[in-house]
Structure 1
């Protein structure tokens, strides 16, 4: 299988398996020359679905289903996990975001793109094993590319606070494992 000039084959991570024989993990560059991994693309697709549902005030799964029903669009499994996870835990996620945000800046006042980036990051923080640095870095990259000039700084503070709350809420035996 050949890959276009803007795609680079990446090695699989330890413990990562090809979903089908011969499949490879690739990174590709967008029109601005930025490189995106498959998981980054999945996050961006999830953000698109979350933003659409937020804008149209529709159910997240309806937006996801419309995408999945379109034969021209491939919806990655990780995109589906993010969208379903945010929908299932949205009340808790939004409460965490409000708690981590400045007191006078509730989630309803945030730009739609920012609150949905934050929702993805908080869901990932709470429901995946993805490294904290990767979660925050990916969120800040999306904010830098897609939102306001102040969004990256705002989300960095918000997600740092959410991460600190998450870390403090973990059982002590989990914290001990990190020290070794």
Structure 2
């Protein structure tokens, strides 16, 4: 598994734990950075969690606008986390190409979520990618 793929998975783990514990993502991130009993938090994983936390309101707004049939709160937690990471990478990470961000999210959905999740994640991120250039200009 490539380093950034591992970092995305670790970021997803932290976002998932944050929701399960009803704690802020940055609180969980800080705790994971200080513990010796968990895998280390790669620099890129930290960047993803920090970025999602910083832009969470806008990210969730975009997901809600492009998610068909599901509100953000009703989505499976893994899908919600993957979409949040994907949107963050699409709009705020310059060194990741849009197709790479989408493919990585879809592959993680394939291994970690439901049978329908890869197609759903691909569809939502694809729609946002289609307007990403416009969205980046308004950030």
- 4+ residue stretches of structure 1 with deviation over 2 A? 167-171
- In the TM superposition, residue 71 of structure 1 has moved relative to its aligned partner by 2.5
What is the CA-CA distance between 1:167 and the residue it aligns to?
A: 2.8
Equivalent residue runs for 1:149-164 within 5 Å: 149-164=115-130
Q: Number of residues paired by the alignment?
A: 135
DSSP 3-state at the match of 1:105:
coil
TM-score normalised per structure 1:
0.72
Q: Does 1:62 align with 2:24?
A: no
Note the C-alpha offset of 1:38: 0.5
Distance 2:30 2:48 in 1: 14
Alpha-carbon RMSD across the aligned residues, in angstroms, is 1.2
More helix by share: 2
| Structure of greater relative contact order (alpha carbons < 8 Å, 6+ residues apart) | 2
- What's the counterpart of residue 24 of structure 1? none
1:3-55 CA distance string (max 9 Å, x none): xxxxxxxxxxxxxxxxxxxxxxxxxxxxxxxxx11111100000000011012
Partner of 1:124: 89
In structure 2, the residue matched to 1:94 is 60
CA contact (8 A) 2:91 2:135 kept: no
Using the TM superposition, give the Cα deviation of residue 168 of structure 1 relative to its aligned residue in structure 2, in angstroms: 3.6
Q: Give the number of the structure whose alpha-carbon radius of gyration is greater.
A: 1
The answer to whether the Cα contact below 8 Å between 2:91 and 2:136 also exists between their aligned partners in 1 is no
Can you give the 5+ residue segments of structure 2 that lack an aligned partner in the other structure?
none
1:74 alignment counterpart: 40
The separation in 2 between residues aligned to 1:43 and 1:76, in whole angstroms, is 9
Q: More displaced, 61-70 or 112-121?
A: 61-70
Map of 2:107 onto structure 1: 141
Q: Distance in 2 between matches of 1:94 and 1:144?
A: 22
Gaps of 5+ in 1: 1-35, 172-180
